[in-house]
């Protein structure tokens, strides 16, 4: 890539910091050039986020249909999977899997609910009712 071809399409990262790209100058020598972003990868990131939004919407529907507990919704919202959630809560993965069932979730102790609430940064009542207060 030639130095003058380094793209400057402003993306989410470019608003905060420019990134270093390696490119060649007129004499073919490598040098660094700051880039504000590249349309191709901005849309790649957008595509990934669209998928996240769809997963959150699907999780919400599952909870409303009583096929899953609100933990599924908050897990998707936090971009987590069972392994990550187990890591942050300190539960075993098999426990988290059980807690995703509405009937198990409804009988969870206050203490366990509190743990999830802390990780998701919501109150216990909001956890149970799948409410998010946008802060």
Which residue, 88 or 102, is less far from other proteins as judged by CB?
88
Are 70 and 40 in contact by the 8 Å Cβ rule? The answer is no
Q: Scan residues 45-104 and list those touching other proteins (CB under 8 A).
A: 45, 47-49, 51, 55, 79-81, 83-84, 86-88
List of E strands, 26-114? 30-35
> Helices 82-89 & 110-120, crossing angle to 10 degrees?
110
Whose CA is closest to 82, among 94, 65, 73, 70?
94
Residue 26 CB, shortest distance to other proteins, in Å, is 14
Tokens of 21: 């790209």
Does residue 10 bind other proteins (CB under 8 A)?
no
Residue 102 CB, shortest distance to other proteins, in Å, is 23
Q: Scan residues 23-42 and list those touching other proteins (CB under 8 A).
A: 23-24, 28-30, 32, 34-35, 38-41
Question: Measured at the alpha carbon of residue 125, what is the angle toward residues 121 and 128, in degrees to the nearest 5?
Answer: 90
For other proteins, the binding residues (CB under 8 A) are 1, 6, 12-13, 15-24, 28-30, 32, 34-35, 38-41, 43-45, 47-49, 51, 55, 79-81, 83-84, 86-88
């Amino acid at each position: 890539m030639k130095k003058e071809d380094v793209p400057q399409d402003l993306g989410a990262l470019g608003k905060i910091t420019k990134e270093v790209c390696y490119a060649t100058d007129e004499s073919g020598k490598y040098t660094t050039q700051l880039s504000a972003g590249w349309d191709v990868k901005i849309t790649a990131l957008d595509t990934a986020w669209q998928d996240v939004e769809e997963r959150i919407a699907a999780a919400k529907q599952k909870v409303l249909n009583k096929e899953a507990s609100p933990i599924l919704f908050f897990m998707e919202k936090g971009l987590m999977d069972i392994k990550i959630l187990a890591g942050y809560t300190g539960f075993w993965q098999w426990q988290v899997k059980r807690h995703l069932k509405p009937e198990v979730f409804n009988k969870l102790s206050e203490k366990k609910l509190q743990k999830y609430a802390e990780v998701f940064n919501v109150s216990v009542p909001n956890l149970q009712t799948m409410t998010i207060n946008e802060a």
